[in-house]
C-alpha cells in the first residue's frame, strides 16, 4: 500500500494527519476527565484506575504533537513564518488569560468557589507558555540545539523538584508551577499543576519531529516519513521498557523507582514520557500510513474535528464533566458507557458548529508583537 498518493506535497494535507493525532489525544482527555468526574466520585475505583492509566496517553501525545506542528509550520512555511509566529504567540496569551478564567469558571461548582478553582495550572496554560516561547526560539536555534535544550529543561525540572525545598507558600507555588512537586493532597500549594518547564522541554524537543516531517514531505519522500515515525515511536517504547527493567533490577532507591515509573505523570518522569510518547508517535504513524487508503475515513473525520477545535473542546469538556455532571450527581450504573457516549456526541456536535462558524479566529488577542 502506498503511504501517500502520488503528486506534489501540499502542507494542508499533511497537517490533517497531525490534526487527527491531536484529536486522538483529545479523546483520551475526554475519557480521563469523564473518569475523574464519574467513576471517582461514585467510588468505582477499579474503572477509575483503568481509565486513568489509559488516559495517561493524552498529555505526552498532545505536547509532542503540538511541538511537531510548530516544527512542521516552521519548516514548510519558513518564508512566511513571521505572521504565523505572531498569531501563535497571540493565541498563547489568550490561553493564559481568557482561557484560564473560562476553564476555572467551569470548576467553580466542584471546587466550591471561583477563587479555589483558579488554583489550577491546566495543560492549556502550559501550552500557552509554549506558544509564546516556542515560536520565538525556533528561528534562532538548530534542531539539535532544541533537542538538547528540551532534555536540559527536563533535567533541571527534576533537579529542582528534588533539591528545591520551599519554606514559604509563595515559594511552593512558584516551584509547583515551574517544575512540579511530588507532594500530595494538602501538602500542595495549588489544587493541580501541569508544570511548565518539563513539558516545555518535551514541546521544544518535539519541534525536531515536525521539521523532519516537513523536510521529507517537501521532497515527496512519504515512505521515509512513515519509517521515521515508526522507528522513533518503537525506539521510545523499547528504551522505556529497558530503562524500567534495568532500574527495577539494579537499584532499590525510591528516587530511581520514581524516575523509572511508567505512571509518573506529575511531574513527568523519563520512562513515562518515553513510553506514552512513543505510543503517541505510533498513533501518528498509523494515521499517516493509512490516511490515503480511505479505510479510516470516519476515524479521521472525528479526530480531525477534535484536533482542529482542541482548545474549545478542552474548555467545553470541563463544563460537561466538571459542571454538568457535578450538578446532575449521576449515580454509577453498569450502563455508564451510555453517559460517556452521549457526552462525547454532545461535545462533537458543539465542536462541529464551532468549526463551521470559524470561531477559532476569536481564540487570540490582537496585540503588537513586533
Q: What is the pTM of this model?
A: 0.92
Q: Position of cell 450538578?
A: 327
pLDDT band at 186 (very low <50, low <70, confident <90, very high): low
Alpha helices in 35-139 (DSSP H): 45-55, 58-76, 81-94, 100-106, 108-111, 114-117, 123-138
DSSP 189: S
Tell me what the pLDDT averaged over the chain comes to.
91
Q: Determine what percent of the chain is predicted with pLDDT higher than 70.
A: 93
- For 20-29, how does the pLDDT look when each residue is reduced to its tens digit (9 = 90+)? 999 999 999 9
pLDDT at residue 159 greater than cutoff 90? yes
pLDDT at residue 366 greater than cutoff 70? no
- For 32-62, how does the pLDDT look when each residue is reduced to its tens digit (9 = 90+)? 999 999 999 899 999 999 999 999 999 999 9
Indicate the SS3 state at residue 192: strand
Strand partners, 121: 193
Neighbouring CB atoms inside 10 A of 45's CB total 10
Amino acid at each position: 500500500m502506498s503511504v501517500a498518493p502520488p503528486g506534489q506535497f501540499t502542507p494542508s494535507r499533511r497537517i490533517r494527519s497531525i490534526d487527527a493525532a491531536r484529536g486522538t489525544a483529545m479523546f483520551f482527555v475526554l475519557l480521563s476527565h469523564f473518569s475523574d468526574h464519574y467513576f471517582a466520585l461514585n467510588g468505582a475505583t477499579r474503572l477509575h484506575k483503568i481509565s486513568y492509566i489509559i488516559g495517561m496517553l493524552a498529555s505526552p501525545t498532545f505536547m509532542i504533537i503540538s511541538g511537531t506542528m510548530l516544527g512542521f509550520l516552521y519548516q514548510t512555511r519558513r518564508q512566511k513564518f513571521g505572521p504565523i509566529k505572531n498569531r501563535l504567540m497571540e493565541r498563547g496569551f489568550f490561553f493564559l488569560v481568557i482561557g484560564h478564567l473560562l476553564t476555572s469558571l467551569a470548576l467553580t461548582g466542584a471546587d466550591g468557589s471561583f477563587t479555589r478553582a483558579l488554583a489550577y495550572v491546566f495543560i492549556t496554560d502550559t501550552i500557552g507558555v509554549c506558544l509564546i516561547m516556542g515560536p520565538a526560539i525556533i528561528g534562532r536555534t538548530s534542531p539539535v540545539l532544541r533537542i538538547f535544550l528540551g532534555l536540559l529543561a527536563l533535567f533541571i525540572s527534576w533537579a529542582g523538584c528534588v533539591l528545591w525545598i520551599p519554606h514559604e507558600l509563595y515559594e511552593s507555588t512558584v516551584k509547583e508551577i515551574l517544575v512540579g512537586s511530588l507532594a500530595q493532597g494538602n501538602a500542595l500549594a495549588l489544587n493541580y499543576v501541569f508544570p511548565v518547564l518539563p513539558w516545555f522541554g518535551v514541546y521544544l524537543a518535539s519541534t525536531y519531529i515536525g521539521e523532519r516531517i516537513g523536510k521529507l514531505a517537501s521532497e515527496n519522500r512519504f515512505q521515509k516519513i512513515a519509517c521515521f515515525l515508526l522507528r522513533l515511536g518503537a525506539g521510545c517504547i523499547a528504551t522505556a521498557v529497558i530503562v524500567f527493567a534495568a532500574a527495577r533490577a539494579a537499584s532499590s532507591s525510591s528516587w530511581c523507582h520514581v524516575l523509572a515509573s511508567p505512571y509518573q505523570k506529575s511531574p513527568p518522569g523519563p520512562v513515562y514520557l518515553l513510553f506514552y510518547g512513543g505510543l503517541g508517535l505510533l498513533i501518528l504513524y498509523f494515521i499517516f500510513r493509512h490516511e490515503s487508503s480511505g479505510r479510516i475515513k470516519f476515524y479521521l473525520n472525528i479526530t480531525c474535528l477534535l484536533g482542529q477545535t482542541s482548545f474549545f473542546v478542552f474548555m467545553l469538556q470541563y463544563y460537561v464533566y466538571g459542571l454538568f455532571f457535578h450538578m446532575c450527581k449521576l449515580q454509577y450504573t453498569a450502563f455508564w458507557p451510555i453517559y460517556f457516549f452521549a457526552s462525547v456526541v454532545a461535545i462533537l456536535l458543539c465542536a462541529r458548529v464551532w468549526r463551521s462558524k470559524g470561531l477559532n479566529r476569536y481564540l487570540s488577542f490582537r496585540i503588537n508583537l513586533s
